[in-house]
């Protein structure tokens, strides 16, 4: 490395907005956001300095200072850090995400926010001490923290962000600048060696690793291989975006609102770094990102939540506000400012965009909240009502372009009077198997016959066969049907009426002894009690909470944590069963019609 490396970097390395804007301007804005949310980044930064870290953007845990980098924050398990990472496996008894979590460096962002707010040197020193200790404890390519190129990329992005924030601070010495250059070099080498595998996954891994390679080259431009890293990163990034985002619907390949948010955060970072070089995303790539931004905006609720569906490992690349993890406005606000040229209504969630891209556009667009959203290629439908929303997971296209995330076909989430009363239960863990995995049909708000679903799980992230749904006419809403693994036919219509929503399920099975079960999952019994259920056959209702044997009656607020919740189950036996669920409506189920507030709806659409 050249003797004058640090001096050259300080003079000519690209400057992100955080390095260009005076802290005296940013500080009061960050403080105002903290006051509005009742969340103090200074208090969190001081907890970090004492060894308490927020994991999965949710709970604070005691991890030590310096942290125990190779110990899982989920269960205390330890992974050997002395061997080359290729000698380790993600398939062992330890949930590796618990070991990786602190080394994703999400703790960087509250330290930066605290420094921006009050300008105290202790927050800068905390960052550098942690980075120095991590580098000592994790030599390049040794131990679990080098197993995943995506984790390495997110770590490098966090370090790059902090370096931009602290680049003029006296604590950022030449030796510490060289330390970040060594990290960038090791990270780029790790990514390049296995980039082909990441690209083959056709998901966020390839995107993240391409972006990590680009970051190393663009923000450490004086390193010998920087130009090659930068170019290869962009050459692999752009085609992925065009392949993984549907040009019509804007849906993302991973069939998950949380991973869709991660995609937008990755692209926000790409555009911010390109802008620092005087560049921007090429038009074809940008068009896909625009559609993806519009897609998630269409699902946004006034409180910042979106319908939860698909795998959810609590990924949040930029926890740059005090907003809770389920608030998507920080990420969407930045994406809309960059790619749509407008903003959400102003609020404390603007802090994330402020620190990433600088002052926001002043014009705010009121989201339309259109009454019906249907994105058939993405497999998403949404009906809005003055009192709530009904989200419908309906993957229609066959064959699938990208592998399914969960067996969630025809799942419905219901929101009423400002709260999700029936919803997707989340993702507790990717490790192991059995009832702790929430991706199967019985863990969704659907009908099952003899506990079967439309697919079976054959690997950690693989479901087969890739079953699709067929569209069903539903003039007052949305409808679809499918055939499960045992050949039973199931049809669901989600209908909107002036008073609320009605969901009609019709099941046809070959065996007269078929056990047909309708499940609704929710965080509270009071919420599920707002649903009225009816069945065409004699039926039995059960309320289930925290059943460890079946995994029913739980909710995962973040990865690695599950809490007692409620499952409301209605069971009937027979080859032909009709279930009707209503919310806000008066319903009567007859032989061939459903009467909704005096209006007859034929059971046969």
What are the structure tokens assigned to 447, written together? 């009908």
- A 10 A CB-CB count for 136 gives 10
Give dist(CA 387, CA 304) in Å, integer: 16
Closest among 473, 393, 397, 396 to 439, alpha carbons compared: 393
What are the structure tokens assigned to 417, written together? 């009077």
For the residues of 449-498, what is the DSSP string, one character each?
ETT--S-EEEETTEEES----EE---TTEEEEEEE-TTS-EEEEEEEEET
Q: Could you tell me the pLDDT band of residue 436, with boundaries at 50, 70 and 90?
A: low
> Which residue matches tokens 């189920």?
589
Q: Where are the beta strands (DSSP E) in 387-428?
A: 388-393, 412-416, 419-422
- A 10 A CB-CB count for 433 gives 9
Give dist(CA 415, CA 423) in Å, integer: 8
- A 10 A CB-CB count for 531 gives 20
- A 10 A CB-CB count for 81 gives 18
**Strand 561-564 to strand 599-602: parallel, antiparallel, or no bridges (unpaired)?**
unpaired
Q: Would you say residue 366 has pLDDT above 80?
A: no
Residue 438: its pLDDT value, please?
87
**Rg, Å, the chain Cα set:** 25
560-577 as b/e: b if 16+ CB within 10 A: bbbeebbbbbbbbbbeeb
| pLDDT tens profile 509-533 | 989 999 999 999 999 999 999 999 9
Please give the average per-residue pLDDT across 340-369, as a whole number: 84
Residue 434: its pLDDT value, please?
65
Q: Would you say residue 368 has pLDDT above 80?
A: no
Give dist(CA 522, CA 244) in Å, integer: 32
The three-state secondary structure class of 601 is strand
Residue 399: its pLDDT value, please?
60
DSSP 8-state code for residue 417: T
Q: Would you say residue 339 has pLDDT above 90?
A: yes
Residue 349: its pLDDT value, please?
95
Residue 99 and residue 150 in contact, taking contact as beta carbons nearer than 8 Å: no
Q: Could you tell me the pLDDT band of residue 398, with boundaries at 50, 70 and 90?
A: low
The span from the first CA to the last CA of the chain, in angstroms, equals 72
Which residues, including other chains, have CB under 8 Å from residue 284's CB and lie 6 or more apart?
A: 238, 242
Q: Is the dihedral of CA 367, 370, 376, 379 positive or negative?
A: positive
Which residues, including other chains, have CB under 8 Å from residue 196's CB and lie 6 or more apart?
A: none
Q: Would you say residue 239 has pLDDT above 90?
A: yes
Q: What is the average pLDDT value for the chain, to the nearest integer?
A: 94
What are the structure tokens assigned to 378, written together? 């993405």
Give dist(CA 252, CA 240) in Å, integer: 11
| pLDDT tens profile 147-178 | 999 999 999 999 999 999 999 999 999 999 99
Going from the C-alpha of 582 to that of each of 84, 524, 600, the distances in angstroms are: 57, 18, 14
The dihedrals phi and psi of 595, each to the nearest 5 degrees, come to -95, 115
Residue 362: its pLDDT value, please?
66
| pLDDT tens profile 82-95 | 999 999 988 777 89
The dihedrals phi and psi of 153, each to the nearest 5 degrees, come to -65, -45
Q: Could you tell me the pLDDT band of residue 258, with boundaries at 50, 70 and 90?
A: very high
Q: Would you say residue 463 has pLDDT above 80?
A: yes
Please give the average per-residue pLDDT across 385-407, as a whole number: 89
Residue 343 and residue 363 in contact, taking contact as beta carbons nearer than 8 Å: yes
Output the CA angle 6-8-14, nearest 5 degrees: 105
């Amino acid at each position: 490395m050249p003797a004058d490396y640090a001096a050259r970097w300080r003079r000519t390395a690209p400057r992100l907005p955080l390095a260009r804007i005076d802290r005296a301007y940013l500080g009061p804005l960050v403080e105002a956001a903290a006051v509005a949310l009742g969340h103090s980044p200074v208090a969190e930064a001081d907890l970090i300095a004492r060894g308490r870290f927020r994991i999965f953007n949710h709970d604070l845990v005691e991890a030590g200072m310096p942290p125990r980098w190779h110990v899982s924050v989920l269960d205390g398990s330890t992974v050997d850090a002395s061997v080359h990472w290729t000698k380790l496996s993600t398939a062992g008894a330890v949930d590796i995400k618990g070991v990786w979590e602190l080394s994703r460096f999400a703790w960087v962002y509250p330290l930066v926010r605290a420094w921006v707010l009050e300008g105290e040197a202790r927050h800068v020193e905390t960052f550098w001490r942690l980075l120095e200790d991590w580098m000592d404890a994790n030599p390049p390519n040794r131990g679990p923290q080098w197993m995943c190129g995506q984790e390495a990329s997110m770590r490098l992005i966090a370090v790059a962000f902090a370096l931009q924030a602290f680049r003029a601070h006296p604590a950022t010495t030449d030796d510490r600048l060289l330390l970040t250059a060594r990290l960038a070099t090791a990270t780029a080498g790790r990514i390049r060696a296995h980039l082909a595998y990441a690209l083959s996954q056709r998901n966020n891994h390839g995107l993240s690793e391409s972006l990590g390679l680009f970051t190393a080259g663009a923000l450490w431009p004086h390193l010998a291989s920087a130009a090659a890293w930068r170019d290869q990163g962009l050459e692999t990034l752009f085609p992925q975006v065009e392949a993984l985002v549907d040009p019509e619907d804007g849906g993302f390949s991973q069939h998950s609102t949380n991973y869709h948010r991660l995609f937008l955060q990755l692209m926000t970072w790409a555009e911010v770094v390109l802008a620092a070089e005087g560049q921007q995303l090429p038009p074809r790539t940008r068009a896909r990102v625009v559609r993806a931004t519009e897609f998630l905006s269409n699902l946004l609720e006034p409180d910042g939540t979106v319908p939860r569906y698909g795998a959810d490992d609590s990924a949040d690349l930029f926890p740059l506000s005090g907003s809770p993890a389920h608030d998507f406005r920080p990420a969407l606000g930045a994406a809309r400012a960059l790619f749509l040229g407008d903003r959400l209504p102003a609020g404390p969630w603007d802090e994330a965009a402020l620190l990433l891209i600088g002052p926001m556009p002043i014009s705010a667009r009121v989201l339309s909240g259109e009454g019906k959203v249907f994105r058939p290629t993405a497999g998403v439908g949404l009906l809005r009502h003055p009192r709530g929303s009904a989200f419908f997971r309906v993957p229609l296209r066959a064959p699938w372009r990208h592998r399914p995330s969960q067996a969630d076909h025809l799942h419905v989430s219901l929101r009423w009077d400002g709260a999700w009363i029936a919803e997707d239960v989340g993702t507790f863990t990717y490790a192991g198997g059995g009832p702790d995995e929430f991706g199967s049909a019985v863990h969704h708000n659907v009908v099952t016959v003899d506990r079967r679903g439309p697919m079976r799980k054959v690997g950690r992230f693989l479901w087969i066969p890739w079953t699709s749904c067929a569209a069903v006419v539903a003039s007052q809403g949305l409808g679809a049907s499918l055939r499960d693994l045992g050949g039973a036919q199931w049809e669901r219509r989600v209908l909107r009426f002036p008073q609320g929503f009605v969901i009609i399920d019709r099941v046809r099975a070959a065996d007269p002894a078929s056990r047909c079960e309708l499940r609704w999952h929710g965080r509270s019994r009071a919420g599920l009690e707002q649903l009225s259920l009816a069945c065409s056959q004699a039926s039995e209702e059960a309320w289930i909470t925290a059943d460890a044997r079946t995994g029913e009656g739980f909710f995962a607020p973040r990865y690695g944590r599950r809490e007692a919740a409620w499952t409301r189950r209605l069971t009937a036996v027979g080859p032909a069963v009709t279930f009707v669920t209503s919310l806000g409506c008066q319903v009567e189920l007859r032989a061939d019609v459903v009467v909704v507030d005096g209006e007859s709806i034929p059971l046969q659409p």
